[in-house]
């Protein structure tokens, strides 16, 4: 059986409040804010479950 992912990284622009709220509402945990070539980005991890059998 292949390895399954247990979490995903979700990124949004640091000033995008709508995306920030949506990600947090769905369980996103802020890892931090990093500078990117496109400007600061908020990095969130979201835990995901295994598919139902």
Q: Are strands 7-13 and 39-47 parallel, antiparallel or unpaired?
A: antiparallel
The domain ranges of the chain are: 7-47
Number of Cβ within a 10 Å radius of residue 31: 13
Long-range CB pairs of 18-21 (<8 Å, 24+ gap) are none
pLDDT tens for 1-53 read 566 789 999 999 999 999 999 999 999 999 999 999 999 999 999 999 766 54
Judged by DSSP in three states, 32 sits in strand
CA atoms within 13 A on the CB side of 27: 8
């Amino acid at each position: 059986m292949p390895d399954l992912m247990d979490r995903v990284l979700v990124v949004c622009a640091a000033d995008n409040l709508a995306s920030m709220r949506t990600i947090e509402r769905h369980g996103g945990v802020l890892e931090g804010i990093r500078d990117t070539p496109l400007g600061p980005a908020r990095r969130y991890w979201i835990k995901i479950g295994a598919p139902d059998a």
